[in-house]
A and B are shown apart, each in its own frame.
Chain A
Amino acid sequence: MIEITDGEISLPEMIERARSRDAGAVVTFLGTVRDDGIVALDVEAFHDAALSELEAIEKEAVSRFGLRAVEVIHRTGTLAVGESIVAIVCSAGHRDEAFSGCRYIIEELKKRAPLWKKERGERGERWVGLGGAK
């Protein structure tokens, strides 16, 4: 399942969906809101385009690493420190493929999926990745 949602992420449910008799490894990645002195993080998506990109990344990962199942859920909306932003679950016959597939998906997601984060702090707010730009 590939999903972009303003709801919560249930990692146990994702793991259960990814399990199978022929998978000997299930690797999970959970991205969370780090306390960089922020109060909250706003996550915004170009929903349909991001979903299409994540589905393309999933297909690539399955093809490259022979994954048995892939689960990706990315949240949108306002998140507090410690909350989950993104969860990825990959199952494969062996751990090497599952680790590599999971790593591939998060790295490609960060490069290609149209998603943005805005940090809200006590002294102001900034879009992540904009540097000094407005």
Chain B
Amino acid sequence: MRIVVIAFANFREILGKERQLQAIEGATVGELLKELAASSQAFREAAFDDTGALRDYVLLMINRKRIDPSQELSRQLQDGDELAIFPPLAGG
């Protein structure tokens, strides 16, 4: 299945603004993030701590809706989903 990953701020600098990934059916948010980490050391260091846990400051949206990374990394993605990755908000 095809997943669109979009990134902002420091994560955009690492991953680029948008990329399309082919993921296996049933892949979870956490698995997709691990796959990105495996392909980019800079992303791994920015998004994961030394124990392999997602850093607290990493924020996620699926199809423009915020998800809770502490609860929903096991959520299965659907074909065509858009996963947005970004740091804490700092508008205004």
Contacts and interface: CB of A to CB of B under 8 A. Distances in A.
Given A74-B91, A127-B90, A128-B90, A118 B9 contact: yes
Interface stretch (A12-20, A42-50, A58-66): A42-50
Contacts of A5: none
Interface in B20-63: 42, 45-46, 55, 57, 61
A116 B12 CA distance: 11
Q: Which of B9, B42, B46, B55 has the most CB of A within 10 A?
A: B9
Given A44-B8, A48-B64, A52-B64, A130 B92 contact: no
Interface of A: 31, 43-46, 48-50, 52, 74, 85-86, 106, 109-118, 127-131, 133-134
Interface of B: 6, 8-10, 12, 42, 45-46, 55, 57, 61, 64, 84, 86-92
Given A44-B9, A133-B10, 18 more contacts: A46-B84, A49-B61, A74-B92, A106-B92, A109-B91, A113-B89, A113-B92, A114-B89, A114-B91, A116-B8, A116-B89, A116-B90, A117-B91, A129-B87, A130-B10, A130-B57, A133-B57, A133-B87
